[in-house]
Amino acid sequence: MANELDKRIVEFIAQHHVLSLATVIDNKPYTSNCFYVYLPDENAFLFTSDPETTHGGHMQSNNNVGLNIFLETNAVGKIQGLQITGKVKALEGVEEKKAKISYLKEYPFAVLKLETMWKVNPNFMKFTDNRLGFGKKLIWEEY
């Protein structure tokens, strides 16, 4: 069981729609960007991607991933960003069907190229929010 996620983190996640995904295999890091759907009841992120891409291959070989969501701003007092680590898995069967329905509700244009659905279950989140004070961090960790 995980401790409760601070509502300010959940609100930040809800205000954004693109995450940066970091993967690594054989000491070769790679990053990509994905539209996401957040499932607050599960504290999980959904995204779609082709398993034949570089990051898709990485995720199949190493399910440890990093995610980053941030507010792009030049105003130091408004900086916000969420760093996440977790485990990713490719969804199958009924779980994948449900994920595709959720994803297409949010991004109907994805019907043109809906690939494998992936789910990230976070085990660590660090939210930096300078609106709360310079360098203020909120930490969430799975027990």
32 and 53 Cβ atoms separated by less than 8 Å: yes
Tokens 């949010």 sit on residue: 106
HSE-up of residue 26 (Cα within 13 Å, Cβ side): 5
The answer for residues whose C-beta is within 8 angstroms of residue 98's C-beta and 6 or more apart is none
**CA 140 – CA 126 distance, rounded (Å):** 6
CATH class of 7-141: mainly beta
pLDDT at 2 exceeding the cut of 60: no
User: Quick one: pLDDT band at residue 1, thresholds 50, 70, 90?
Assistant: very low
Q: For the segment 79-97, what is each residue's pLDDT rounded down to a tens digit?
A: 789 999 999 999 999 999 9
Give percent of the chain above pLDDT 70.
Answer: 99
